[in-house]
């Protein structure tokens, strides 16, 4: 491998069951591909003891591999990334969910894609090629597809999966995008891509299979859908 290092940001909130599994999978797949990486766990004061589990994992895998950067309380995704980037020692940053909906086996493919054309961003897509969604009921799939379809028409983003949160960024690119984003929560991922297009960043896609949460509550409910629609209209009006 080249001198590239990858900082994986894992924002967590009540992921005690999932964290050991996702960590094990990351180490397994990235070691096998000879990738230099660190996992930055950004726990937002989980009451279920996620941080205690993270400390145990740090003992197992070492402090160079598992970096703990907890925060006192739940402060949202955008700020979690800002917080994580500050502590990232890699020149590339990977963002993904800690809830096992994103499989680490796709990361070597992201990296290969990025290196082939020196891309600024590589994003996982559920809507192209072999990509897909598993474990979602029809309503969830419809909402997700519908949201994506609407966004494609309104924003023409040059990206087939805007609300996905499994992505690889060059570190300076992510820093600039996070600073320029105003959205919170679910819409934040979408705005990142819209801003990327404005800045003229290059983007590639890798088909991924997305698996709905194994443990715990899904985070997409009615209020998120309303938030998404508002955010979409805001972006359409301002970009």
Please write the tens of the pLDDT for every residue from 98-107: 988 899 999 9
Q: Give the pLDDT confidence score for residue 186 in this predicted structure.
A: 65
Most confident of 50-54, 132-136, 151-155, 186-190: 50-54
> Is residue 40 a contact partner of residue 87, using CB atoms and an 8 Å limit?
yes
Q: Which of 111-125, 140-154, 167-181 has the lowest mean pLDDT?
A: 140-154
Rounded to two decimals, what is the model's pTM? 0.84
Q: Which of 37-46, 104-113, 170-179, 208-217 has the lowest mean pLDDT?
A: 208-217
How would residue 202 be classed by pLDDT, with cut points 50, 70 and 90?
very high
Distance CA 152, CA 146 (A): 10
Q: Which of 49-63, 98-112, 146-160, 216-230 has the lowest mean pLDDT?
A: 216-230
Alpha-helical regions (H) of the chain: 18-32, 50-61, 77-87, 107-117, 138-155, 171-180, 186-199, 222-238
pLDDT of 78 above 90? no
CA distances from 123 to 108, 129, 166, 204 (A): 13, 14, 6, 6
How would residue 1 be classed by pLDDT, with cut points 50, 70 and 90?
very low
pLDDT, tens digit, for every residue of 168-194?
A: 999 999 999 988 888 766 678 888 998
Q: Give the pLDDT confidence score for residue 3 in this predicted structure.
A: 86
Distance CA 40, CA 38 (A): 6
What CA dihedral angle connects 33, 54, 136 and 219, to 10 degrees?
A: -130
Strand partners, 167: 95, 123
pLDDT of 54 above 80? yes
pLDDT of 223 above 70? no
Distance CA 207, CA 109 (A): 9
**Mean pLDDT to the nearest integer, 60-85:** 89
pLDDT of 236 above 60? yes
How would residue 209 be classed by pLDDT, with cut points 50, 70 and 90?
confident
Distance CA 87, CA 94 (A): 13
Q: Give the pLDDT confidence score for residue 185 in this predicted structure.
A: 65
**Radius of gyration (C-alpha) of the chain in whole angstroms:** 17
> Is residue 188 a contact partner of residue 81, using CB atoms and an 8 Å limit?
no
Would you mind telling me the total number of residues written for the chain in this entry?
A: 239
Alpha-helical regions (H) of 33-183: 50-61, 77-87, 107-117, 138-155, 171-180
On average, the pLDDT of the chain sits at 86
**Domains of the chain from N-terminus onward:** 5-238 (3.90.550.10)
**Mean pLDDT to the nearest integer, 131-155:** 75
CA distances from 217 to 15, 27, 99, 193 (A): 10, 26, 10, 26
């Amino acid at each position: 491998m080249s001198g590239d290092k990858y900082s994986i940001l894992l924002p967590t909130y009540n992921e005690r069951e999932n964290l050991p599994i996702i960590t094990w999978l990351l180490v397994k797949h990235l070691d096998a591909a000879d990738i230099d990486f660190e996992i930055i766990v950004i726990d937002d004061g989980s009451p279920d003891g996620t941080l205690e589990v993270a400390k145990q994992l740090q003992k197992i895998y070492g402090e160079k591999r598992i970096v703990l950067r907890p925060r006192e309380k739940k402060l949202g995704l955008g700020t979690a990334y800002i917080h994580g980037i500050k502590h990232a020692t890699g020149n590339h940053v990977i963002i993904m969910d800690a809830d096992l909906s994103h499989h680490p086996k796709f990361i070597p493919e992201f990296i290969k894609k990025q290196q082939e054309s020196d891309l600024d961003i590589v994003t996982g897509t559920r809507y192209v090629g072999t990509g897909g969604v598993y474990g979602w009921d029809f309503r969830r799939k419809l909402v997700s597809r519908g949201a994506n379809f609407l966004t494609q028409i309104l924003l023409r983003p040059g990206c087939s999966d805007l609300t996905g949160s499994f992505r690889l960024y060059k570190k300076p690119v992510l820093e600039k995008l996070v600073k320029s984003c105003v959205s919170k929560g679910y819409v934040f991922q979408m705005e990142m891509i819209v801003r990327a297009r404005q800045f003229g960043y290059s983007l590639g896609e890798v088909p991924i299979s997305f698996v709905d949460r194994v443990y715990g509550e899904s985070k997409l409910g009615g209020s998120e859908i309303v938030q998404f629609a508002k955010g979409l209209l805001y972006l359409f009006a301002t970009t």
